[in-house]
């Protein structure tokens, strides 16, 4: 017998009459067509869910505009797609399907946040300040990048001594709101219309610490996960160690609402750390006026803002 003719004999299955239902001639149980279809459908659904999760986590995510702080660039009822890869590929900041924070890494970026970008980011303060335990996301325009000097006088905005924005429509409606205390500002500023000059911190900046300046920078330093104390002798302690200076750990941005007469932004809750940036607002994929949409299909259809659907965000 030649080598090609050699084979391993297969054990035959005794048969009486027809083969058992659902089994082939070798005796191996086959999957009924209906079962194969269900299995294929389940695999397709799982694959689709996985792809959607990866896209939402790393590439693009949808957001809705709930307030008028970015009017008239963005309106209440606009639905946006945000490019999460614009400033680098980031690993998740939270365990999927939970609010449990985990360390996040950023892979090399395609670009960095620029002045004028409309940016989505996680609120930089404590969650208790937003009346909830879930992360809260804001969308604002970046007007100051690390190292810039921002000044607001009578609602005129200048960066590095050069005016960049005209006066807003009306003064800030948040009169009496506590201003951010994490950086020097102009005296007498209580309504967000006269601030600065403020230097936007950048990674590696060194802040000289005295008892007075330590109180001024306390909240900023504690947001970088350090504890600030002043002992009875007047010495400044960082994490229990006597310190005369503090080195900034991250790059920061100054964010401002386009409708800054009615916007809570960096004037009130401070700089946005680079690690909190989610991505750049890309396009309006849907828009409708949420005011009194009515109950009928015709009334709801009349509220759709067709002219805004597909508009790029600038």
Q: What does the pLDDT read at residue 186? A: 37
Q: Which of 127-141, 158-172, 232-246 has the lowest mean pLDDT?
A: 158-172
Q: What does the pLDDT read at residue 101? A: 72
**Is pLDDT at 35 greater than 80 in this prediction?**
no
Strands 245-247 and 241-242: unpaired
**Is pLDDT at 167 greater than 70 in this prediction?**
no
User: How far apart, in whole angstroms, are the C-alpha atoms of residue 50 and residue 28?
Assistant: 33
Please indicate whether residue 224 or residue 12 has the higher confidence score (pLDDT). Answer: 224
Residue range(s) occupied by CATH 2.10.109.10 in the chain: 60-147+251-302
The token duo for 229 is 């104390």
**Is pLDDT at 230 greater than 90 in this prediction?**
yes
User: How far apart, in whole angstroms, are the C-alpha atoms of residue 219 and residue 148?
Assistant: 21
What are 256-306's pLDDT values in tens digits?
Answer: 999 988 888 998 888 999 999 999 999 999 999 988 766 677 887 888 999
Q: What does the pLDDT read at residue 10? A: 41
Q: What does the pLDDT read at residue 6? A: 44
User: How far apart, in whole angstroms, are the C-alpha atoms of residue 152 and residue 144?
Assistant: 12
What percent of the chain is modeled with pLDDT above 90?
Answer: 43
3-state secondary structure of 144: strand
**Is pLDDT at 29 greater than 70 in this prediction?**
no
Q: Which of 35-39, 61-65, 107-111, 310-314 has the lowest mean pLDDT?
A: 107-111
Q: What does the pLDDT read at residue 32? A: 64
Rounded to two decimals, the pTM is 0.76
Q: What does the pLDDT read at residue 64? A: 94
Residue 134, CB-side half-sphere exposure with 13 Å CA sphere: 5
User: How far apart, in whole angstroms, are the C-alpha atoms of residue 274 and residue 113?
Assistant: 9
What are 94-134's pLDDT values in tens digits?
Answer: 776 677 777 777 776 668 999 999 999 999 987 767 766 77
**Is pLDDT at 7 greater than 70 in this prediction?**
no
**Is pLDDT at 30 greater than 60 in this prediction?**
no
Query: CATH number of 60-147+251-302: 1.50.10.100, 1.10.3720.10, 3.40.50.12500, 2.10.109.10?
Result: 2.10.109.10
3-state secondary structure of 284: strand
Q: What does the pLDDT read at residue 95? A: 73
User: How far apart, in whole angstroms, are the C-alpha atoms of residue 116 and residue 123?
Assistant: 19
The winner for highest mean pLDDT among 20-29, 125-134, 182-191 is 125-134
What percent of the chain is modeled with pLDDT above 70?
Answer: 74
Q: What does the pLDDT read at residue 104? A: 73
Mean pLDDT to the nearest integer, 38-42: 81
Q: What does the pLDDT read at residue 135? A: 83
3-state secondary structure of 236: strand
């Amino acid at each position: 017998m030649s080598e090609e003719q050699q084979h391993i004999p297969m054990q035959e299955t005794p048969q009486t009459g027809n083969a058992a239902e659902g089994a082939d001639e070798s005796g191996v149980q086959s999957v009924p067509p209906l079962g194969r279809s269900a299995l294929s459908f389940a695999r397709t659904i799982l694959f689709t869910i996985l792809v959607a999760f990866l896209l939402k986590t790393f590439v693009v995510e949808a957001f809705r505009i709930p307030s008028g702080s970015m009017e008239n660039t963005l309106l209440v009822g606009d639905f946006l797609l945000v490019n999460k890869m614009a400033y680098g590929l980031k690993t998740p900041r939270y365990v999927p399907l939970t609010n449990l924070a985990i360390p996040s890494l950023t892979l090399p970026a395609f670009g960095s946040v620029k002045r004028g970008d409309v940016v989505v980011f996680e609120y930089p303060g404590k969650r208790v300040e937003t009346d909830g335990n879930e992360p809260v996301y804001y969308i604002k325009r970046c007007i100051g990048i690390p190292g810039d000097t921002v000044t607001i006088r009578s609602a005129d905005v200048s960066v590095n001594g050069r005016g960049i924005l005209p006066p807003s429509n009306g003064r800030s409606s948040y009169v009496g709101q506590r201003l951010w205390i994490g950086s020097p500002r102009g005296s007498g500023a209580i309504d967000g219309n006269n601030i600065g000059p403020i230097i936007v911190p950048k990674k590696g900046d060194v802040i000289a610490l005295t008892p007075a300046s330590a109180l001024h920078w306390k909240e900023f330093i504690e947001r970088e996960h350090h504890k600030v104390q002043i002992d009875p002798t007047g010495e400044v302690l960082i994490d229990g160690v006597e310190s005369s200076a503090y080195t900034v750990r991250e790059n920061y941005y100054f964010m401002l609402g386009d409708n800054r007469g009615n916007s809570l932004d960096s004037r009130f809750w401070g700089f946005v750390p680079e690690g909190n940036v989610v991505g750049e607002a890309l396009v309006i994929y849907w828009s409708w006026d949420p005011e009194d949409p009515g109950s009928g299909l015709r009334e709801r259809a009349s509220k759709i803002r067709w002219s805004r659907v597909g508009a790029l965000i600038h």
